[in-house]
Structure 1
């Protein structure tokens, strides 16, 4: 400690250092002198309002801080317990033996301004199977605990932002996509963060595709000609989620066969013509078809 010969502390020799700053309502805060100073007498004040005074070992605490304020005469430190927002401000310590004056400002935050760690992030969708161009996808992100939350949405690795079809509501915790397309399938995740923690939800996927990319094979090949008396096996496939319903037609008329296989035995020339496979996705409300023209001959012509 720097002392002048007249008993004065040199200017700037002592600083006030709060133990916590900012503090939270209910905390205990100690205002230390650095370096510590053994003061025979002095006072602490909040702005112009005295908190306490002391002379030797005798302390006098003013009513505004009765039971909450205590000075350590060996170090000059002031301890405040159960602080409130009203305890925010500039604290001033003064002493005449030795003579000094120092100050520091502290801030006390209300409970609503504190940050609680985030736990158990959950992402839920209103439904997973949607109808392309007609349905809206809604996903809601929630946490079991956490405060002062911010939400960031991801589709794959790309950030989701508001647009004509994309709405972010409820403090960005709810994502709504109107008139969904097959490009809105996800995976969607929500990333939640505050000043003290962060986390990301498990992914949610929507089913909005097909039927498309249809394929049709005849007897396991791409053949279109058969001999009379042969067996005809046609296999139809379509990319669709959920799987599409498959229906067969001959010359534009539905036949009594559903599913990916159409099997005909001992075919005749009268069974020549266009065979179509029609795929329908009841969730996307989309349909598609593929046709193969089959020729059945009595003899091969070379």
Structure 2
């Protein structure tokens, strides 16, 4: 059996068929990674790691390399894995280091025999202990100790699931079972994990480290200007463990408010001024403060835009933007920015400055843009123009304001409800006119048929003369007047004039009734 050499522990290592072993180096993680880590088995390279990992196909799914320490884990052991393993590590700016160790893999009754002889005792009862103390940032120091029962071959430390490295404040004991932190910082708080391993077992323990600090980054969330008569809420925040206690001052005088929220139910002129939030940490005994100057305006200055505008390809579209102001603010600049969907950065496409005038930036929209007051006009809108448009207006003395409008471009423009209503009304009116005309024609035709009286005592019908009704059944026909030069005048009765107009007589059929 070979002995460990250099950066590897004294061997041999023992493992069971189907089990896992870890070749743990004595190296600790460094600030810069190693230039190269290479492991060989019986003189054949099984993995080399530089900027990439090159792994022997026979070990591809069975080994894991820890680039921070050079340690190697070998899983699913078989009897053929027995033999000598060597490691070569080239650090960044250091000398090459080497190590070798022998692995013996046992199967069947040999494994039971090894356990009985206590060659490898399974790890149990892993815990992390730390001195009981209240830790204060930059004032206290501490250490974490990994304890376990059994034969410990290696100990690995992690914090919040990531490998723990040494630094100017963090160091490790020789056997890597103790972590020293001096002094503690707020960034040291979190969950620490200790992983103890040997060839036949691995066990992990966790410990939550609390560091008291702060208050840091005290700030007041709330408006710096608000309309008179409006309800105003100011909220004070601070980074602190434990949570900070808050108090408020107004224009240098203490107030009865002793929590993080200060509420002004109705803002008046007497409520304007400097509001100071004071945060105190009762453990660290530190305090910090910040000030907000609250002003009153007649009406809040704001921008009025449409959240969403729909345009149609080939037509013009207007994106409204209007400054709603309560005070006599002067507009100094109007700017529009464009951001396509799924793009993080927005691009300035047009800007108007009262001093420098209108400027249209280079973009696919350049030749199709215009500004109508603060609103944006896009001519011949295209599908690619869809996206988010931001209207920014700078004023004096209120400052700058901005709102966003989403433009959606569609292929075809549907008929509006107004157009549909107009078409329906036109169709109804046309049908009414046609119905009235038809009714008028029918009435005129009906009124042109006149009854004809027949006097059977004469053989000639005089249409102009009333006659006495007979009992004969008469079939009437329309009488049409037309000029006829060959027609003879009718026989005239006594006392009547002869009519010189030509008349064409229709045939009249007289049916005599049988006497009853």
Q: TM-score, normalised by structure 2?
A: 0.32
| 2:159 aligned residue | 155
1:185 maps to 189
Indicate the residue corresponding to 2:242 in structure 1: 242
In structure 2, the CA distance between the partners of 1:152 and 1:286, relative to structure 1 (3 Å rule), is farther
Gapped regions of structure 2 (runs ≥ 5): 1-11, 13-113, 300-325, 329-516
Unaligned runs of 5+ in 1: 1-21, 23-108
Indicate the residue corresponding to 1:261 in structure 2: 261
Say if 2:150 is the partner of 1:122: no
Judging by fraction of residues, say which structure has more strand. Answer: 1
Match of 1:211 among 215, 232, 235: 215
* Structure 1 residues 1-302: aligned runs within 5 Å: 114-126=119-131, 130-143=135-148, 145-169=149-173, 171-208=175-212, 210-218=214-222, 222-227=223-228, 230-266=230-266, 268-284=268-284, 286-296=286-296, 301-302=327-328
Distance 2:117 2:173 in 1: 22
Task: Tell me the alpha carbon deviations over residues 119-153 of structure 1, each in whole angstroms, 9 at most, x when there is no partner.
Answer: 1211234358632111223322212x213453221
**Judging changes above 3 Å, is the alpha-carbon distance between structure 1 residues 232 and 283 closer, same or farther for their aligned structure 2 residues?**
same
Structure showing the higher helix proportion among its residues: 2
Question: Hey, what's the Cα distance between the residues in 1 that align with 2:193 and 2:261?
Answer: 39
Deviations 1:44-86 (A, max 9, x none): xxxxxxxxxxxxxxxxxxxxxxxxxxxxxxxxxxxxxxxxxxx
- Aligned residue pair count: 189
For CA contacts below 8 A with separation 6 or more, give which structure has more relative contact order: 1
For the 8 Å contact 1:137–1:178, the answer to whether it is kept is yes
Asked if the contact 1:135–1:180 (Cα under 8 Å) also holds between the matched residues in 2, the reply is: yes
Quick one: distance in 2 between partners of 1:165 and 1:294?
A: 44
1:131 and 1:285 in contact (8 A); partners too: no
Change (3 A) 1:274 1:123: same
Residue by residue over 1:232-253, the C-alpha shift from the partner in whole angstroms, topping out at 9 and shown as x without a partner, is: 4322223333222222122234
In structure 2, what is the Cα distance between the partners aligned to 1:193 and 1:284?
39
Change beyond 3 A, Cα 1:177–1:284: farther
Q: Note closer, same or farther for the CA distance 1:184–1:197 as it changes in structure 2 (3 Å cut).
A: same
| Maintained 8 Å contact 1:128/1:206 | no
Could you tell me which residue of structure 2 aligns to residue 25 of structure 1?
Answer: none
